[in-house]
Amino acid sequence: MRLKNNTKQRKKSIQGLRSFKDSLPKNIKETIFKKAKIYSQIVDNWKKIVGNDLSDACYPKSFGKSKESSTKRLNLMVKRGREVDVEYSRKFLMDRINKFLGYEFVNKIKLTTFKDKKK
């Protein structure tokens, strides 16, 4: 394979298909990988962050910005029937997540219910 020198993303590339990571603009790439790292930390340590009782009732689905640019929202999947427990624990969950990360990351929590297949 020949090396090409006229690409915008990196100085030298192998002719042919590029990986998805290399085809993204630099500022978007940094944002995606930063968010993925934070999300994976939250998911991996979910039981440690919220405790056994709440980790059985809910789990993180995704996170994103609200319509206001400064508000970050965490979307939680909650088992049907346990919504009240999680609703009353919103402030506790936000405090624990922010304390775990070391800075204020989550400002809002949105709950989405699902039916548990195990019974």
3-state secondary structure of 53: helix
The answer to whether the predicted template modeling score (pTM) of the entire model surpasses 0.75 is no
Q: What is the pLDDT of residues 11-41, one digit of tens each?
A: 555 566 666 666 666 666 666 666 677 878 8
Query: How far is 52 from 44, CA to CA, in rounded Å?
Result: 14
Domain ranges of the chain: 20-114
> What is the full DSSP assignment across 21-33?
HHHS-HHHHHHHH
Q: Topology of domain 20-114, per CATH? A: GMP Synthetase; Chain A, domain 3 (3.30.300)
